Amino acid sequence: MAASSCIFCQIARSSTSTILLHQDHKVIAFQDINPSAFRHYLVIPIEHIPTVNDLHKRPEDYTLVSHMLNVGQTLLQRDAPQAKEYRFGFHQPPFNSIDHLHLHCLALPFIPRWRELKYSSLGPLGGFVEAGMLLERLKPSF
């Protein structure tokens, strides 16, 4: 998909009416249009990166994902401090819905409860990868 036709690229360029919860020089954050939890935000890089498979074990990718996670954690702690559990992660191909890297930031419970399945790891088949696990895979060797 060309970046010009990517809905997340359009949101990042402020070409839509999407309300931004956060914006800086690397990422933006906004509410998921089809929330699966009490609070469900997406944090995306402004640069078009298709999927987690396009990230590599290098400092810039590790720093980007770490920043995305930090933004998501800050937003949920601010907006849902009463939540007993948070979940942060990415869908891996072929389970991602949009080919633009996006971190799901969820303040649980899931609504409805069955949506928890969508945010579970499928082991070697992929599925959902927790942000911390992705950071471990991306951590550069020094």
Could you give the residue numbers annotated as active site?
104
Cα separations in angstroms, 129 against 1, 2, 18, 19, 52 = 23, 25, 26, 27, 9
b/e for 64-80, b at 16 or more Cβ within 10 A? Answer: bbebbbebbeebbeeeb
DSSP β-ladder status, 103-110 and 37-45? antiparallel
Structure-token pair, residue 34:
């089809």
Structure-token pair, residue 42:
């997406």
- Name the strand (E) or helix (H) holding 6: none
